[in-house]
């Protein structure tokens, strides 16, 4: 079980005119599901980037179960985090190979089970890299929605205690969103989760919501609290 704490965290990018995060503090208890919402550019993805070690805090501290993230061995920590982006990277090989990438030792059965859990089993033998046009449109690749399911299959296979979703259902049609939400609900069960998503359905399901604007926390609380109903 993973608990996370941000202590007055600042983050900045090369050439950025203002810090992407400016003094952000919050706690995520083990097993909690936190939604992070806010306008484009608010710093939501930067929270994910810090946790994934893509960038380092300019100031402040991030702790994992009380331990400074900086002191953890990167490879060990990254095994504990499953990241589901809207547009995952693809590598040369089949969809099955692309799913297995997160756990090269996984059996074919485990890969297929993960693909099934994410609704990605029907296109497991396709070769998506280099083919932008999906099969349904006369090409050999996978669609954007299939690519998102591939990312969820990776997360199921990784079986990590912390899940970070960054707009994992964005751009899907309503039916595909519903299927994706059902798969994500199973994925998140019993795990700590950070959910970057604008949709009210996800926000309602989260235990707590953090509203970011301009790199700072504008509000946080339960859905009812934020609506003034608590
Ligand atoms: P959000 O996910 O809420 O849309 P981000 O965390 O992506 O916001 O971005 C926060 C701020 O940091 C924005 O001002 C954005 O322009 C800037 N930013 C994000 N990524 C980069 C980058 N790679 N280089 C420079 N600036 C960046
Ligand atoms: P980018 O995000 O810059 O387009 P990626 O490295 O993520 O590049 O893409 C890797 C490969 O995936 C590329 O060869 C690209 O042609 C292919 N690709 C991009 N979008 C899709 C898609 N929706 N379905 C299948 N393949 C795709």
Task: Write down the number of H helices and E strands in the chain.
Answer: 8, 10
Q: What is the pLDDT of residues 79-125, one digit of tens each?
A: 999 999 989 999 999 999 999 999 999 999 999 999 999 999 999 99
**Which whole number is the average pLDDT over 165-175?**
93
Percent of the chain with pLDDT over 90: 85
Grouping H, G, I as helix, E, B as strand and the rest as coil, residue 22 is: strand
Reply yes or no on whether the pLDDT at 163 is more than 90.
Answer: yes
pTM for the whole structure: 0.89
Q: Specify the residue with its C-alpha closest to ligand 1, atom 17.
A: 20
How far apart are alpha carbons 165 and 24 in whole angstroms? 19
Q: What is the pLDDT of residues 129-162, one digit of tens each?
A: 988 888 888 888 999 999 999 999 999 999 999 9
The answer to whether the CB of 13 is under 6 A from ligand 1 is yes
* DSSP codes, 128-195: -TT--SBGGGTSSB--HHHHHHHHHHHHHHHT-SEEEEESTTTT--HHHHHHHHHHHHHHHTTSEEEE
User: What pLDDT score was predicted for residue 135?
Assistant: 87
ipTM of the complex: 0.73
Q: Specify the residue with its C-alpha closest to ligand 2, atom 21.
A: 132
Instruction: Indicate the average pLDDT of the chain.
Output: 94
**Which whole number is the average pLDDT over 155-179?**
95
The answer to whether the CB of 197 is under 6 A from ligand 1 is no
For ligand 2, which residues put their CB under 6 angstroms from it?
Answer: 87, 89-90, 128-132, 141-144, 147
User: What pLDDT score was predicted for residue 202?
Assistant: 80
Reply yes or no on whether the pLDDT at 230 is more than 60.
Answer: no
Between vectors from CA 28 to CA 215 and to CA 79, what angle results, nearest 5°? 95
Q: Of 3, 30, 61, 31, which is closest to residue 190 (Cα–Cα)? A: 31
The answer to whether the CB of 20 is under 6 A from ligand 1 is yes
The answer to whether the CB of 48 is under 6 A from ligand 1 is no
What separation in Å is there between the alpha carbon of 91 and the centre of ligand 2?
9
Q: For residue 88, which atom of ligand 2 is closest to its CA?
A: 7
Q: Specify the residue with its C-alpha closest to ligand 1, atom 12.
A: 20
User: What pLDDT score was predicted for residue 229?
Assistant: 64
């Amino acid at each position: 079980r993973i608990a996370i704490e941000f202590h007055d965290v600042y983050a900045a990018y090369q050439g950025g005119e203002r810090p992407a995060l400016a003094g952000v503090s919050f706690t995520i208890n083990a097993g909690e599901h936190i939604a992070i919402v806010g306008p484009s550019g608010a710093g939501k993805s930067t929270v994910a980037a810090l946790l994934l070690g893509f960038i380092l805090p300019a100031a402040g501290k991030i702790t994992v179960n009380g331990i400074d993230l900086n002191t953890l061995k990167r490879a060990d920590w990254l095994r504990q985090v499953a990241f589901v982006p809207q547009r995952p990277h693809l590598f040369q090989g089949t969809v099955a190979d692309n799913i297995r990438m997160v756990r090269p030792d996984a059996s074919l059965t485990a890969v297929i089970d993960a693909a099934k859990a994410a609704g990605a089993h029907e296109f497991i033998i396709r070769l998506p890299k280099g083919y932008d046009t999906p099969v349904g449109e006369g090409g050999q690749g996978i669609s954007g929605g299939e690519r998102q399911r591939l990312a969820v299959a990776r997360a199921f296979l990784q079986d990590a205690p912390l899940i970070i979703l960054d707009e994992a259902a964005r751009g899907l049609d309503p039916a595909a969103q519903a299927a994706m939400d059902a798969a994500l609900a199973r994925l998140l069960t019993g795990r700590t989760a950070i959910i970057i998503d604008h949709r009210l359905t996800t926000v309602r399901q989260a235990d707590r919501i953090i509203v970011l604007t301009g790199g700072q926390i504008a509000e946080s609380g339960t859905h009812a609290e934020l609506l003034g109903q608590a």
